[in-house]
Structure 1
Amino acid sequence: MTIIMSRTWIEPVVAAAQFASSFYDTGLIMVVKNYYNQTVSTTNSSSDNDLQKSISNFYIIYNLITKLTPLVPAYILAKLGDNNYREFSLCVPLTGYLVSSSILLLLILLDLPIQVMFGSAAINGLTGGFIAYWAGVMVWATLGSSENQRSIRLITNDCVFGMAGFAGSLISGHIFVNLQIGNSQGAALVSCSLANYILCLLYVIFVLRIPQLKDANIKEPSQAISENTTENLDEPIDCEYTEHSRLMDDQSNGMSAVRSMDVPVNTHASKVLIFLLFSSVSLYNASVNGTEDVINFFVLKKPLNWGPVEVGYGNAAAYMIFITSFLGVLVFSRFLGDHSLILIGMFSFGVGVLIMAFASWTYVYYIARVAMLFSLIPVPTIRSMLSKRVQETSYGKIFAILQIIMAVIAVMASSAFIKIYQATLDWFSGFSFIVIFIIVFISFILISVTFCMEK
């Protein structure tokens, strides 16, 4: 029985895929830096700024392709998932990741132009990308959890995601520097990424099984009546019991009538709450993603001026936030509700991003990361709140729509943050983090409004 249950666990896929992704991310940023380093001289500060602009311009285009092309494919995969083809929402995007890693490996081995990665990003997007993949993971975890444990289950997946990313990032810089295939630096690292994606696909195809919803043992009334009627066809009818049943049915009908009178108000309130939750989580997610995108260039520039090993360590510190956020939910959920957890997470990230704006030394960077300890609590907690307001058969669609909205807003905001970063390089390179803090504050206000409405 334990073996059967374990085959519904999505966590091994999350761990292996994120391990592969952390290798890929470190490999890509260093390959991009080395490519533009050959064309832009870094003998003076102005040339260093030119290098920063070249790298950031590459990532603007790369992120636009990666995050916008999956919109339609992700929705199609979500609909297929809701129609009993759950594996498609995992297998197809994982195949895209596998192809992307293969293209990056070929780029390194064959010394292809860096623009090839735009084609890789398009393939990744057309197979659903992270939108389809993570929506599929969330559906899998939701189906395997009860309502009162859902927030913990969803943040558990984020914790596994973070632990794998932490471990992968910690060693990725060392692999990039110390292991080579021939004279191709980074090929060994990308090969490790490729191997992990292959393992993920094999696990999904041959091992993983669809979980049954934890609350599914509560039968629908019509089903229960049908079963009860079938079981008691040959039994004598007890008149006293029948009269009691009639009275209970009358009471039940009265309660149903009372509930039906409240439906218009509750439905309207629910729609407003869902809109506010969507808006808040989208803005907050855009702030988090925008921060990580800007940090990718911020740490390569003087005065930090990081190399592959330092980049790996920095990414590992970023992934530690997944673990601390999980522990935060585990502890705080005993005493606090979902709204309070979300507000704590947003406050944590807001403080951290303000500190990051003034990170002129490496230790300040890590202080900012410490301040962000609980910054990943809001997104999975809001997902949990949304799942309690929709039907099981709509999980795939609602999560996919949420991921699509989050992706569109995130890619637009990220491009804007990068452009602000480029424009302010000469006088205050941390200014974009100040702008991000303002967006977080707006998200904080929106979630506070939902809290007041529900009270």
Structure 2
Amino acid sequence: MMSCRQYIAPMVFCAQVASSFFDTALQMVVKERCANATDPDSEQKAITNFNMIFNMIFKFMPIVPAILLAKVGDKGYRKVPIFVPLIGYLVSRTLLLLDIVLEWPLQVLYAVPVIHGLCGGFASYWAGVMALVSVCATEDKRSLRIMRTELVYGIAGFIGSLASGHLFNLYTVDLKHGVILSGLSVLFYFFCLIYAAFILRVDNLVLEDRQERREIIGIINQEARDMMNIVLLFASGILYDIAVAGGIEMLAAYVLKDPLNWGATEVGYGNAAGSLLFITSFVGVKFFTRCSVRDESMIMIGMVSFAAGIYFMAFVTTTPLYFLARALTLFALIPMPTIRSLLSKQVKGTSYGITFVLLQLSFKLASLVTTPIYTKIYQAYLDTFPGFVFILSSIFTVLSIIPISIVGCRSARHNGYETIQGN
């Protein structure tokens, strides 16, 4: 039987390197266009207002396209939810390159999330990747396989982010800052598109085989407690995503102001520190799995790790302290892939795509409300305590632990019954 992982990993790696290049380029272009030496607060407000509108469009636009693509994927066309978003990535990233070269107004970049979203966006792309990995893995190895894919994603982000700051500063008489970095991002996405179209192979028999085995083994459990577990897992995931997404979005602006006042190189290193968490989280999953730690427990460990780190971030005033706060979040990326793994064990194989997309879209819908709230709170406390939003993220993280702890209690209660059934 074919293993999908060995074919999908190069594409995931290349796409994330390209994404890291784009993220740094966008962050620095926005900073340069909003520069106002006489009034730093106005610069911060301009940056956060742009980021707020950009992120809200980014989260809203993929909703319908991603659902449609997920349904196509669940019918057996697993490459479609991956291939179509890559088209959106390529076109939207090309727009940033043109904006830098032709010096278009900053507002033109609002078209980037529109194009990206109409093609399904990250919600479709990553849900498609997760669905493909899930149908190629047995239930007992699924958490590790999903985390391994996240590891590839993280290593790529680490390498891309480290290089991105230096590449942004490369320029010639004919090329402006950011042209080389954005051009490489476009080139890498083009490679991913070609790879997905002609090299990525998907064996439909894998889906059919896993589907049949899921129906035979899980037929009794399917009606007993799946729906309650699904609701609790969604609730925990949404609360945790609000905490992480809200905190990280504000962090992008926070590091550009005094006292940190980062440039392109430091921004790249900061993004690399975030990507390094994929590696430490993967090592954590390997270690906890060998110690027979349950999935629910691993999720809570990751959540506590992020809560501690983001709380400490509220009081960061120097670059070394920033990286120390990041170090406290070393297991922060364990929860999301493990939640996806638990969800995949609650539904049939032919529903993986739509389940993962609905999870991803629920994050985006929640963020449509919380993003402007986070932004306005950050702006309100800009002169007094800008790190207050990170304390807010820590509170949301603690709340997200409650639903997953209930799932753990329910699973433990039924564990003995399921073992007899499996035998």
TM range, smaller chain: over 0.9
**2:322 corresponds to which letter in structure 1?**
Y
Superposed displacement of residue 407, structure 1: 1.6
**Residue 111 of structure 1 aligns with which residue?**
103
Matches within 5 A, 1:303-314: 303-314=259-270
Distance across 1 between alignment mates of 2:114 and 2:27: 18
Distance across 2 between alignment mates of 1:312 and 1:384: 31
Q: Can you list the C-alpha shifts for 1:98-134, whole angstroms capped at 9, x where unaligned?
A: 0111100110111100111111211111110000000
Distance across 1 between alignment mates of 2:322 and 2:212: 54
Change (3 A) 1:157 1:189: same
Change (3 A) 1:323 1:213: farther
Asked if the contact 1:145–1:213 (Cα under 8 Å) also holds between the matched residues in 2, the reply is: no
Q: Can you list the C-alpha shifts for 1:161-194, whole angstroms capped at 9, x where unaligned?
A: 1100000000101011124471411011000000
SS of equivalent to 1:271: helix
TM-score by length of 2: 0.92
Superposed displacement of residue 216, structure 1: 5.6
Matches within 5 A, 1:230-269: 267=223, 269=225
Among 281, 287, 301, the alignment partner of 1:325 is: 281
TM-score by length of 1: 0.86
Asked if the contact 2:170–2:178 (Cα under 8 Å) also holds between the matched residues in 1, the reply is: no
Among 235, 247, 265, the alignment partner of 1:291 is: 247
**Residue 312 of structure 2 aligns with which residue?**
355
Q: Can you list the C-alpha shifts for 1:181-239, whole angstroms capped at 9, x where unaligned?
A: 71411011000000100110111100111145768658959xx9xxxxxxxxxxxxxxx
Asked if the contact 2:306–2:328 (Cα under 8 Å) also holds between the matched residues in 1, the reply is: yes
**Residue 61 of structure 1 aligns with which residue?**
53
Percent of aligned pairs with the same amino acid: 45
**Residue 257 of structure 2 aligns with which residue?**
301
Q: Can you list the C-alpha shifts for 1:13-37, whole angstroms capped at 9, x where unaligned?
A: 1111100000000000101111111
Residue 384 (structure 1) aligned with residue 376 (structure 2): no
Distance across 2 between alignment mates of 1:6 and 1:407: 28
Distance across 1 between alignment mates of 2:384 and 2:5: 55
Distance across 2 between alignment mates of 1:88 and 1:103: 23
Matches within 5 A, 1:50-449: 50-180=42-172, 182-211=174-203, 267=223, 269-335=225-291, 336-449=293-406
Distance across 1 between alignment mates of 2:71 and 2:263: 43
Tell me which stretches of 4 or more aligned residues in structure 1 moved more than 4 Å. Answer: 4-8, 212-221
Change (3 A) 1:414 1:218: closer
**1:410 corresponds to which letter in structure 2?**
S
Q: Can you list the C-alpha shifts for 1:267-292, whole angstroms capped at 9, x where unaligned?
A: 35321111010000111012111121
Change (3 A) 1:218 1:53: closer
**Residue 13 of structure 2 aligns with which residue?**
15
Distance across 1 between alignment mates of 2:212 and 2:3: 24
Asked if the contact 2:242–2:367 (Cα under 8 Å) also holds between the matched residues in 1, the reply is: yes
Q: Can you list the C-alpha shifts for 1:221-266, whole angstroms capped at 9, x where unaligned?
A: 9xx9xxxxxxxxxxxxxxxxxxxxxxxxxxxxxxx9xx99x77xx7
Asked if the contact 2:316–2:322 (Cα under 8 Å) also holds between the matched residues in 1, the reply is: yes
Among 30, 33, 51, the alignment partner of 2:28 is: 30
Distance across 1 between alignment mates of 2:4 and 2:223: 38
Asked if the contact 1:91–1:205 (Cα under 8 Å) also holds between the matched residues in 2, the reply is: yes
**1:447 corresponds to which letter in structure 2?**
I
Change (3 A) 1:6 1:125: closer
Moved more, 161-170 or 181-190: 181-190
Superposed displacement of residue 79, structure 1: 0.5
Unaligned runs of 5+ residues in structure 2 are 413-423
Change (3 A) 1:412 1:311: same
Distance across 1 between alignment mates of 2:246 and 2:372: 8
Superposed displacement of residue 300, structure 1: 0.3
**1:315 corresponds to which letter in structure 2?**
N
**Residue 240 of structure 1 aligns with which residue?**
none
Asked if the contact 1:146–1:214 (Cα under 8 Å) also holds between the matched residues in 2, the reply is: no
